[in-house]
Structures are given as C-alpha cells and as structure tokens.
Chain A
C-alpha cells in the first residue's frame, strides 16, 4: 500500500469501534471515528474518505439507515463505498419488509454482521476499495 486509505467509521458503541479500528489500524488503514450520525455526516463533509463503515442500529432505532439514505442523495458522497455493519441480518430485513435481505443502500456496498472476524473484515474492506476504484475508471 503506497498511501494510507482514509476510512471513516460511524458507530455508537465505542468498545465495538475500538475492536474494529485496531484490526484496520494494524492493516495500515487510517481510520477516523464518529460516534453518532450527526458527527459522522459532518466528518464526511469536511474530508474525502475512501470508505465508510456504517452501523445500522444506532440511537433510537435505525439511524444508520437514515444516514445511508442521506449519503445516497448527496451528489458528492453517493459513490462512496459503504460497509454496513449490523447486529443481525434479519433486523435489516425487519426494517425493510418485503425487500431483499441485503438492501442496496449505495451503488457500492457490503454488509457484515457484528461481531466480524478480522479476516472477513479486511477482505470486505479490500474488495470494496477495489470495486470502487474500478468503477471510477472510464
């Protein structure tokens, strides 16, 4: 890796964040953290990130979903790859009755469950960064 990829993680559980961040730090990523959607969105506006790690079940219910929708509507952010991290898959299905279990919030996104094995986490992050790089090429 020639330069550190810039990652932002938005999750309201500091202990979970530290368990994910340690894995990503060790793999050479530069990880910023926001502990609520509001700070997260502000961070996205201030700095250009290569990837967003987004918790779905934040605060009262699914604030992460609202966040994802907001990002998708934003022309400057809509192509940002997102790794969705959720408590349970079914919970996502519960929020979107009648839709596929893996809702495509973003053009480039993936979904993993909490807790996430280090190898799987790194694999998903790499794959998303690669897919995003490929989609930017003409």
Chain B
C-alpha cells in the first residue's frame, strides 16, 4: 500500500522506451512513478494517482501535450508540470512554460538530467503546498484575531447600550426633553461605535469562504437598484440626481448579491457624501472584454492625485465631504476586499474639483444555456466610461 505522503510522479509519453527507462531510472528512489502512453490515459489516471509532478511529452498522437497541460491545470493548479520536448521544439517548450509548465526536458536526456529535474520539481511542489498551507493559516489567524478583538471591544459597549435602552424606557416619564435628547445622543454615539467595530472587523477579515458559498448568478442591475434605493433619501435631501445606465440585458456576474450590494452602497454613499447639492451621480454597467464593468461616477469634489493610491487602505479618510461629512475610512477597504473575493478589481479615477469615478470589474458569468454566452454580446448603453477625464 502507498503511504499517503509518498511523492507521486505521473509520466505521459507515447514512446514505450521513454516510459520504461524512466521507470528504471526512478527505481529505488523515494518517488513513485505512474506512466501513461497517451494524454487521454494520463488524464484518466490523474484522479487515481493524485500526482505531485506530471511529466508530459508535448508531441503525442491524440491529445496534444498542451491540451493535457491545460486539463491538468484545470483539475489541480498546484500540480507541478514538466514538458518533454524534441530538439526542434524549443519554442514550444517556451510556449509551455508561458502556460504554466515549471520546466522542460529536451530529448534525449540522461538519467541524471531526469533525476535532477524530478528532484527540483518535487521541491517546487512542496514549496507550493507549504505556501498554500501558510496562507490558509494566515487567513484563519487574521479572522480569529479580528473576531476576538471585535468581541472584546463590543462586549462592554453592548452592556452600556443595553442599559441605555432600559434607562430610556424608565426615565421617559421623568426626564426633561433636554435630558431625553442627551440620552438619545449618547445612545446614537454608542451605536456608531458598535457599527464602527463591526465595519473594522469586516475590513480586516471579510469572510471569503462565506462570500463564495453564497455565490449565484446575479444580474448586476439587481444590486445596483438596491444600492440606489438605499441611498435615494440621502441623495434627494442634497438634491443630487442619481442616474443608472445599465446595459440591456443586464450583464450577469457570479457573485454574492448581499456583499455586492454593500459594495455599491459604499461607493454610492461616498459619491453622495462628496458631491455638492444639485450634483449628479451616474451608475453604469456594461460588459467589456469578458468582464463586467460597473462605474460609479460623480461630479463632486474629487480626490487629490497624491491621495488616490491611499483611498482603498483601511482607516484612510479623505478631507470632510461636501457638507463636512466624515467617514470611518473603512468603506472602501471593505469594498476592495469584497470585490477581490469575487475575483474582481476596483480602481478609481479622479480630477479634483470635477469628480471621481470608481470602477469595479468582475468576471462575467457565462450562461451556458441554449442561448450561449449572450451577456458578452449585449449592446452597450450609454454609461460612465473609465478614465474619461
């Protein structure tokens, strides 16, 4: 029986002599070698063998080495792959490495060359696995740390707030209007602080696993409409017009509607905050080169060039808004983590005095139904364009 931690190598080559001699070379080594004489057989063995390293001949009848590499990457991107090439195919070796192969082995090779490249690949593989484990551990520690800190900070505040609730009730018939107002303000400030701690926790440890677990096909007009609705009152109060320009049919992303809405609420909230009364905000969404671009553009106060690289950092808060408002400095940091958890990016363009445009790019969700990838070919409606200023 194979010990679970044995290092396994899968060799895919159509030449019987190569398979045999490599088996011979690795005999007595700590590595276990499985062989397949063509790409289809090799891929079929993938699940059974669970190799650490795959060695693939680029030139084979049937499935080409490139196709095999592609499938291996899809199955498990952590597998280290090496390609075997003939003298005449160095350029394809380069091509293979561009596509993620770790190294190449030109034919004919000596036993020592084969042993060496296998040893190096196994080393590489253990580094890859170790990095992944450390990264997971780091994320877990980070979340654990944030959960503990926020709990310790929130517990006393919750106790204070709970008693303020009681006092408010008990004092209602006794306290003067002035005293009741004071109590209400204390309550509001404690509430703000509780909210701030929660926002901080989310800023440093957005639960990426939870976002992924809630992912579904989301037409982007849905979170856009929800975000616009939640900011409608505030925008109306400042007489700011909010225009939405979403392509028809709405592009669809694979995402978590709740956190995507939260992100858009953050961007729209900022836009409202940093736009003067009577201003205008546009939310556009359009498919672009296999992705979906959502742009929130305002004609507000804008962001100074030296501040632009900082806006997505936690606790960065710009100068007070158009009416002196201040933020927690966390909204954009949280938004960036959410977008990145979706495999997207968020960028900002701004000219001081003229306004800012925040652009979110998310991978498009392809509908593999009978209509094919219809979202990509959708007509583009007028919308805010990236970098138009």
Query: Measured between alpha carbons, how far is A90 from B200 in the docked complex, in Å?
Result: 13
Query: Measured between alpha carbons, how far is A90 from B143 in the docked complex, in Å?
Result: 11
Tell me which residues across on chain B come within 8 A of A88, comparing CB atoms. 147, 150-151, 154, 198, 201
Tell me which residues across on chain A come within 8 A of B207, comparing CB atoms. 90, 93-94
Is B163 a contact partner of A19 (Cβ separation < 8 A)? yes
Tell me which residues across on chain B come within 8 A of A118, comparing CB atoms. 165-166, 169
Is A16 a contact partner of B213 (Cβ separation < 8 A)? no
Does A130 sit at the interface, judged by CB under 8 A? no
Does B210 sit at the interface, judged by CB under 8 A? yes
Tell me which residues across on chain A come within 8 A of B157, comparing CB atoms. 115
Contact pattern, B 151-172, Cβ under 8 Å of A = 1, otherwise 0: 1001111111111011001100
Is B213 a contact partner of A19 (Cβ separation < 8 A)? no
Tell me which residues across on chain A come within 8 A of B147, comparing CB atoms. 88, 90-91, 94
Is A114 a contact partner of B165 (Cβ separation < 8 A)? no
- Tell me the nearest residue of chain B to A23, going by C-beta: B166
Question: Which residues A1-55 have CB closer than 8 A to chain B?
Answer: 13, 15-16, 18-20, 22-23, 26
Does B88 sit at the interface, judged by CB under 8 A? no
The prevalent SS among residues of B at the interface is: helix
Query: Measured between alpha carbons, how far is A77 from B103 in the docked complex, in Å?
Result: 64
Question: Which residues B162-197 have CB closer than 8 A to chain A?
Answer: 162-163, 165-166, 169-170, 194
Is B163 a contact partner of A15 (Cβ separation < 8 A)? yes
Tell me which residues across on chain A come within 8 A of B151, comparing CB atoms. 57, 87-88, 91
Is B209 a contact partner of A97 (Cβ separation < 8 A)? yes
Tell me which residues across on chain A come within 8 A of B158, comparing CB atoms. 13, 16, 87, 114-115
Query: Measured between alpha carbons, how far is A91 from B143 in the docked complex, in Å?
Result: 10
Query: Measured between alpha carbons, how far is A77 from B217 in the docked complex, in Å?
Result: 43
Does A98 sit at the interface, judged by CB under 8 A? yes
- Candidate in B143, B147, B198, B201 with the most chain A CB atoms within 10 angstroms: B147
Known: A87-B155, A88-B201. A93 touches B165 (CB 8 A): no
Query: Measured between alpha carbons, how far is A91 from B148 in the docked complex, in Å?
Result: 9
- Tell me the nearest residue of chain B to A21, going by C-beta: B166
Does A127 sit at the interface, judged by CB under 8 A? no
Question: Which residues A75-104 have CB closer than 8 A to chain B?
Answer: 87-88, 90-91, 93-94, 97-98
- Tell me the nearest residue of chain A to B160, going by C-beta: A15
Query: Measured between alpha carbons, how far is A88 from B154 in the docked complex, in Å?
Result: 9
Query: Measured between alpha carbons, how far is A75 from B297 in the docked complex, in Å?
Result: 60
Which of the residues B154, B160, B166 comes within 8 Å of A87, measured between beta carbons? B154
Query: Measured between alpha carbons, how far is A98 from B160 in the docked complex, in Å?
Result: 33
Tell me which residues across on chain B come within 8 A of A116, comparing CB atoms. 162
- Tell me the nearest residue of chain B to A14, going by C-beta: B159
Which of the residues A26, A97, A115 comes within 8 Å of B162, measured between beta carbons? A115
Known: A15-B159, A114-B162, A117-B165. A98 touches B213 (CB 8 A): yes
Query: Measured between alpha carbons, how far is A114 from B197 in the docked complex, in Å?
Result: 13
Is B159 a contact partner of A13 (Cβ separation < 8 A)? yes
Known: A13-B155, A57-B151, A93-B210. A19 touches B201 (CB 8 A): no
- Given A87-B151, A115-B158, list of 5 further CB < 8 A pairs? A16-B155, A19-B159, A19-B163, A57-B151, A90-B201
Top 4 A-B pairs, shortest CB-CB distance: A19-B162, A114-B158, A15-B159, A115-B161
- 24 A-B interface contacts by CB (under 8 A): A13-B159, A15-B159, A16-B155, A16-B158, A18-B163, A19-B159, A19-B161, A19-B162, A19-B166, A87-B154, A88-B154, A88-B198, A90-B202, A90-B210, A91-B147, A94-B147, A97-B209, A114-B155, A114-B162, A115-B158, A115-B161, A115-B162, A115-B165, A118-B165
